[in-house]
Chains A and B, each alone.
Chain A
Amino acid sequence: MVLVPVVQAAVFSLYKWNGLGPMVDFRGFRNFQTLLSDEIVGKALSHNVFIALASLLVQLPLAMGLALIVSDEKFKGAVFFRTFFFLPYVLSEAITGVLWQFIYQPQFGLVKAIWTALFPGVQSPALLGDTKTVFWAILAVVMWKYFGLHMTIYVAGLQDIPKDQIEAATIDGASKARIFRSIVIPGMRVPIQLTVFFSMIGSFQVFDIVWAMGRGDPVNAAETVVTYLYKMGLQRFNIGYGGAIAVFIFLLCLLFNVLYQKVLVREDR
C-alpha cells in the first residue's frame, strides 16, 4: 500500500503521458534530465530548504522558549497560554491561508493598517503580489501555524523530567543555563528528535498553505516541490514529468530519513 504509489510514480516518470489512453510514449530518463535543468524545480527546492531551516533555527527555539515558560505550573495563566498557542494548529491550512491573504491584503488588511500608521501617505506593499516578498510572507504563516504543535510536544517532555533533579541541582548552586544544558536538554532528547523529524518531513510536504495563498505564484515565486508537482501532474496533466518530480521528492525524503536515523537515533544507543 505504501510502496505501490512510489513504484507507479517511477513507472510514470519514464513516459510522456497525459493520463488518458495507453502509456506508450517511452522516454527513458528524459523527464529526469528535464527536471535537473528545470530552474523552477531548483527554486521550489530552495524554498523547501528555507522552510526547513526556518523551522530548525526559528520555530523550534521559539517553541522551546515558550515551553520553558508555560510548563511551569507556578506561572499564572500557563494553561491558558498553552491552550491558546496550540489553536492555530487545529485550524485548517486552507482556512488559515485565506485568513492571512486578508491580513496581507494591501487595501484592507492588517499590514496596511500598520504600514499607514508608520508611513502615512505611502502606498502599502502587496506582500503576496510581489515576487520578492511572497515566499517570506507565507513562511511567516507557516511559523504561526505550527509553533504551537512543537511547543506542546516540548511541554509534555518537560513535564516528564523529574523535578527533584532540578531542585537538587539548584541547591548545589547550578545556574539556570547549566541546568538547562545538563538536565533539560538531555532529558528532552526524544521530544527534540521528534519535532526535528516532524518539521523536516513537513517542510518537504508543504502544500496547502502555499496553495491557499496564491498557488505558488506570482511567476512561481512561492512554489514548493509539491505545488509544482500538483501543477505539472494534475493541472497540465504531464503525468510523466509529475512522476519524475514525485520520485525526486521520495528520494529526498528517503535520504533525509537515512541521515536522520544515522545521526540522531544512533547516538541513542
Chain B
Amino acid sequence: MENSIKLQGRISAAFRYAACGLMLLIVAVPLYIAVTGGFKDMAQLQTDPMGLPSPSIAANYLDILTGKTGHFWRQMGNSLLVAAGTIAILLVAASFSAYALARSRFRLNGFIYGIFQLGFFFPLAVAILPLYLQMKSLGLIDKYMGVILPQVAFQLPMQVMLLRGFFKAIPLEFEEAAAIDGYGPFGFLFSIVVPLSTPILSTVAILTLIASWNNFFTPLIVLNTATKYTLPMGVMDFMSQYATGWNLILAFLTLAMIPAVIIYVLCQKYIVAGLTGGAIKG
C-alpha cells in the first residue's frame, strides 16, 4: 500500500516535470534560435538553425550596435522617450481621476466610474479611424506626442481602476487629520497619498512602461519615418529592408527584445501583482 502510494507520487512528479519541461522547450526554443541565429552566417543558419553558432560571428550584432545597419539606438531612444512621456502624463492624470473617484461624494461619481470601466472593455480598434483623423487635424502625425496621447488615453481606464482600489483603502481619518493641519485636497494628495502609494504607483508606472514599450498599433497609425519609429516598428522596418538577411534580422530582434526581458526580470513582482492582484481583487 505504502509502496504503491510512493510509486504514484513518483509517476505524478515525473508527469509534472515532463509537462513543464515540454512547455519550457516550446517557450525557450524560439528565443534560443533568435539569440544564436544572430551569431551565425547565412550558410550556417540554413543548414543548422538549431545548433550553437560555429564559427560564432559578432559582426551582425556589432553592425547594428555601431549603427552601420538600421537605426537601433535611435529607435531605442524613441521608445524610451515615448514611454517616459506616457508614464509621466498617465501618472498625473490617473492619480487625479482615481483619487477623485475614490473620495468625492459627487452624484455622478458612479456614472463616471462606469464610463472608465466601459473603456476597459472597449474594443480599441473601433477608435482607429477617429484617432487617425484627430491626430491629423491636431498636426500630430509623425510626432511623438501623437503616440503618447492616445497611449495615455488607452491605458487610463485600467490604471485608474488599479489606483482607485488602493486609494479607497486609505482611511478617511487621515484626510480629516490633514485638514486640521491645514492641508487642502491637493496638498493632501501630494504630501500624504502619493508617498503612501509608492508601491501601487510603481506598479502603474511599470505596467505602462511595458505596454508602451511593446505597443505597435498606435505608432503604426501615427508614425511614418524610420528615424521616429519605436523599436517594434523598427523591427518590422528592419525586416522589410533586409528581407532575406535573416541572421541580421534575428540579431536586431534579439537586441530589441532585451530591454523588455530586463524590465520583466527586475520588476516581475510589480508586473504580476499589478496584472493579477488588481484584476482579481479590484
Chain A residues close to B by CB (< 8 Å)? 1-6, 8-9, 12, 19, 65-66, 69-70, 75, 77, 81, 83-88, 90-95, 98-103, 105, 107-110, 112-113, 144, 148-149, 152-153, 155-157, 160, 190-191, 194, 201, 204-205, 207-208, 211-212, 225-226, 229-230, 233-234, 239, 242-243, 246-247, 249-250, 253, 257
Contacts and interface: CB of A to CB of B under 8 A. Distances in A.
A9 B128 CA distance: 9
A239 B129 contact: yes
Interface string B20-50: 1001101111110110010000000110111
A177 to B, nearest CB: 13
Given A83-B268, A208-B217, A99 B123 contact: no
Given A66-B20, A205-B124, A234-B129, 6 more contacts: A83-B265, A93-B216, A98-B253, A144-B27, A190-B280, A191-B276
Interface string B221-248: 1000000000111011001000000100
A208 B216 contact: yes
28 contacts: A1-B115, A1-B153, A2-B119, A2-B157, A3-B115, A9-B127, A12-B129, A69-B20, A83-B265, A83-B268, A87-B264, A90-B214, A90-B264, A90-B271, A92-B257, A93-B214, A98-B235, A98-B236, A102-B246, A113-B49, A144-B26, A208-B216, A225-B125, A233-B132, A243-B129, A246-B129, A247-B126, A253-B121
Contacts of A86: 264, 268, 272
Contacts of A70: 20
Contacts of A9: 126-127, 129-130
A12 B272 CA distance: 40
Given A9-B130, A92-B213, A103 B125 contact: no
Interface residues of B, number: 73
Identify the 8 closest CB pairs spanning chains A and B, nearest first. Answer: A156-B276, A94-B232, A92-B214, A5-B127, A8-B130, A94-B216, A5-B130, A226-B125
Interface centre among B50, B126, B217 (most CB of A within 10 A): B126
A108 B46 CA distance: 5
Contacts of B16: 69, 75
Contacts of B214: 90-95
Contact of B30 (A83, A85, A100): A100
B245 to A, nearest CB: 11
A101 B253 CA distance: 12
B142 to A, nearest CB: 14
A133 B20 CA distance: 28
Interface centre among A98, A148, A239 (most CB of B within 10 A): A98
A152 B130 contact: no
B22 to A, nearest CB: 10
B19 A66 contact: yes
Given A86-B272, A95-B253, A102 B33 contact: yes
Contacts of B11: none
Nearest to A6: B126
A94 B260 contact: no
B263 interface: yes
